[in-house]
Amino acid sequence: MAVPLFNLARQRIKTPSLHEAMRQGALRVLDHQEFILGREVLSFEQEVEHACLESTLLGSEVCALHASHEKPHAIGVSSGTDGLLALLIASDIGPGDAVITTPYTFFATAGCIHRVGAEIIFCDIDPMTYMMDPEKLEILLSSFQRDQEGVLKSPNGNRVKMIIPIHLFGTCCDMDAILSIAQEYGLLVIEDAAQVLGADYPSMHGPKKAGAIAKMSYFSFYPTKNLGAAGDAGLAVTLDPKVAQRLRVIRNHGMEERYYHQIVGGNFRLDAMQAAILRVRLPFLEEWNAGRRANAALYKKAFVQANLLDYIVLPYEPWAASGLKNHHIFHQYVVRIVGSAQNGPRAGLREKIMTHFTQHEIGHAIYYPVPLHLQECFAYLGYEQGDFPESERAAQETLALPIFPELYPEEINSVVDVIKEAIKDESSS
């Protein structure tokens, strides 16, 4: 049975009213003609703050814990990447600064650090979660020296200023540990929340929404995201009203009053048409996230029944014990094919499974095949193969399976059957 990796057309079949509402949203913009910023962008910002960022939805006792100055402010931007760029500019990150992030991820994070002229420092991942390992972060930071003024310096002499942990595949990093390390070393933190809109995190202060845990974060609405736009779109988020104001100015070329520029910003504005579409789609996010969770549960059942857990490591759910419904929203369903990167009987098993997938027309992808420290454009950083072994192993052993909400249960069984067939084939050859 052919199974697509992702299929937006099924949304249209399952919910025809959604497609019609999106058309109406687009027509509304054509009618009122507020194409740049204006009412659609402002309304979307308020709606997404309420629906996805305010922890009050997680329980009234949490509400009391949140002082009003901790209210999340959402600023619509042109993409997740531009959201990060705006946040880095707002935080005055530039030449002479160093920013720490992980190498097993999408390019955008490290790309933006480079673009503002700062030094990229990588920290390896935890092999279970595929996200920043707080122990490795602590070891890395403790290896840096302070200068005479007490400024923490990288080995290249840059001022270590910020950490960007990346919430991968639908669940959050160990943010309590990362924030406490950041506090110990006096570092800023931006959450890369591109993949986790609507996810919950059980912080030591009570449940929080992903993207409202640190003081700053950003989201992506790339069409394949859990909440996708009809093109590129993103969101920058901050708990600090002053930073929020700065971000609004930065996204509009650094001008508050037209043609007077206090800061060098850029054209990072969220398009009004995209905002109108996102407003229509936002109320469906909860249902779509539930669909992804249900599919993950079906995969788990099928892998257990097929007796494959010796070969396949299922996505780890670090916050499952919290009881929070959206502790994982499965933006991707990434499994590890154990031992396929090593010399031995399972060498190349991932590639074998991919060949079987291709034969059966089963969509799949590798997120991410080349860790960022080994990318050609970052060769100047001087990193080498072997520097971040867990990121390198993850790049060689992981495989993303279809997980979009409208997947049919028989398709999930078919994916698992094909994996079983490939493994049987391999062990009998």
Ligand X SMILES: Cc1ncc(COP(=O)(O)O)c(C=O)c1O
| Residues in touch with ligand X (CB under 6 A) | 79-81, 105-106, 108-109, 166, 192, 194-195, 220, 222, 232, 234
Residue 403 CB burial class (10 angstroms; 0-12, 13-18, ≥19) = buried
Smallest separation (angstroms) from ligand X to the CB of 110:
10
The gap from C-alpha 197 to its chain's centroid, in whole angstroms, comes to 8
Choose between 326 and 340: whose C-beta lies nearer to ligand X. 326
CB of 184 to ligand X, least distance (A): 26
Q: Whose CA is closest to 287, among 17, 42, 23, 54? A: 17
Nearest by Cα to 335 from 171, 130, 134? 130
Q: What pairs with residue 160 in β-bridges? A: 98
Least distance in Å: CB of 363 to ligand X? 17
How near is the Cβ of 192 to ligand X at its closest, in Å? 5
Nearest CA among 398, 376, 374 for reference residue 386: 374
Instruction: Please identify, using beta-carbon distances, which residue of 268 and 299 lies nearer to ligand X.
Output: 268
Closer residue to ligand X, CB minimum distance, 154 or 274: 274
Beta bridge partners of 400: 334, 365
Cβ proximity to ligand X: between 55 and 109 the closer is 109
Query: Closer CB to ligand X, residue 198 or residue 234?
Result: 234
Q: Which residue is nearest to ligand X (CB)?
A: 80
Q: What are the DSSP calls for 281-295, one per residue? A: HGGGHHHHHHHHHHH
CB of 427 to ligand X, least distance (A): 35
Backbone angles phi, psi at 41, to 5 degrees: -65, -45
Give residue for tokens 């790339």: 222
Closest to ligand X by CB, 74 or 418: 74
* Least distance from ligand X to the Cβ atom of residue 18, Å: 21
Q: Are 199 and 210 in contact (CB under 8 A)?
A: yes
